[in-house]
Amino acid sequence: MRIVVLMKPVPDPVAASERLRPDGRLDRANAPAVVNPNDEYALEAALKLVEAHGGEVTLLTMAPAAAPETIRKALAMGAHRGVLVTDTALEGSCVHSTATVLAAALAQLEFDLVLFGVDSTDGGAGTVPAAVAAKRALPYLSAAGKIEPDPAAGTVRVRRMTPTGYDLLEAPMPALVVCTQALGEPRYPSLKGIMSARSKEVRTFSLADLGLDDGSVGGAAATTRLTGTSTPPARGAARIIKDAPAEAARQVVDYLVEKWIIQ
């Protein structure tokens, strides 16, 4: 099986070094990057699938030029190669642009499945996978809790998680699947993987390589514009209930009802 996993470098939440530039955008150059945690779940799912069915995993990333450093972290987990789309004109891309570029990059690759993480920690639109599926006319299988491809039949079955259980979906391959954490904890990179990551291929595409021009995508063509940022208001003083458990529980319930949190 040929599986493409979308992988995004995001600022390391542990380093707590996320800062905004004067223009309100994230200062990526000065924040150590890690693989977007939800993308690790997609990669884990892909690695398990190729372990079971054979094949290879390709990482696809749209990011600044320094991204290979982060791509290698995912290669150390076991992915076979990386593809980076990078171009200074892509800075400030909106969802529409991002999806256009990723769809164009996918046109350069052969695949049976494209796996996405649910969302990224540095921007929560969560709509890129659906937009890419639409642009590439791929079956869109979201909220996957289990992925069962049948390479001989050329189909894939997905359990789509719902509040009450799951739906069972089937689609022809190639297909695009959005992966949830129910697919299993990502593995650690291995020492062997770390040592071999540098020797794995990371191909780089510019916009020109994808047949796109600067004006049609990226910051210049953004359909949305950042007009301001603000931090959440500071939390007020907490109300601490110290009564006996039964009385304390009653007061908590009353409070939740009063605030329309429960009825």
Partner 1 sequence: MDFELSEEHQMLRDMVRTFVDKELIPLENALGPNREITPDVMKGIQAKTKEMGLWMLDVPEEYGGAGLDLMSRCIIDEQVGRTSLFHWHWYPTFGPALRPVLLHCNEEQKQRFLWPVLRGEIRICFAQTEPDAGSDPANLRTRAVRDGDDYVINGNKRFITAAGESQYAQLMAATDPEKGSKGGITCFIVDLKAKGVTVTESWPNITGECLWEIALDNVRVPAANIIGEVGQGFELGQKFLTEARIKAHGARSVGAAQRCLDMMIEYSQQRVTFGQPLSDRQAIQFMIVDSAMEIRMVRNLVYECAWRSDRGEDIRDLSYMVKIQGTEMVTRVADRAIQIHGGMGVSRELPLEHFYREARAVRINEGATEVLRWRLARNLMRKPKRS
47-52 long-range Cβ contacts below 8 angstroms, 24+ apart: 47/77, 47/78, 47/79, 47/187, 48/183, 48/184, 49/1, 49/3, 49/113, 49/147, 49/149, 50/1, 50/3
Structure tokens at 224: 């949305």
Taking 3-state DSSP, the helix, strand and coil percentages for the chain, each rounded to the nearest 5, stand at 30, 25, 45
Query: How many whole angstroms separate alpha carbon 146 and alpha carbon 57?
Result: 18
Instruction: For the CB of residue 167, give the shortest distance to partner 1 in the complex, in Å.
Output: 31
If one asks whether residue 31 binds partner 1 (CB under 8 A), the answer comes out as no
If one asks whether residue 240 binds partner 1 (CB under 8 A), the answer comes out as no
If one asks whether residue 238 binds partner 1 (CB under 8 A), the answer comes out as no
Query: How many residues belong to the site for partner 1 (CB under 8 A)?
Result: 16
Q: Which of residues 33-62 bind partner 1 (CB under 8 A)?
A: 34
Among residues 30, 127, 162, 190, the one that binds partner 1 under rule CB under 8 A: 190
Going residue by residue from 150 to 189, which x/- string records binding to partner 1, judged by CB under 8 A?
Answer: -------------------------------------xxx
Q: Which of residues 191-210 bind partner 1 (CB under 8 A)?
A: 191-195, 197-198
Instruction: For the CB of residue 194, give the shortest distance to partner 1 in the complex, in Å.
Output: 5
Q: Name the nearest CA neighbour of 102 among 81, 130, 125, 132.
A: 132
Residues that bind partner 1 (CB under 8 A): 34, 69, 72-73, 76, 187-195, 197-198
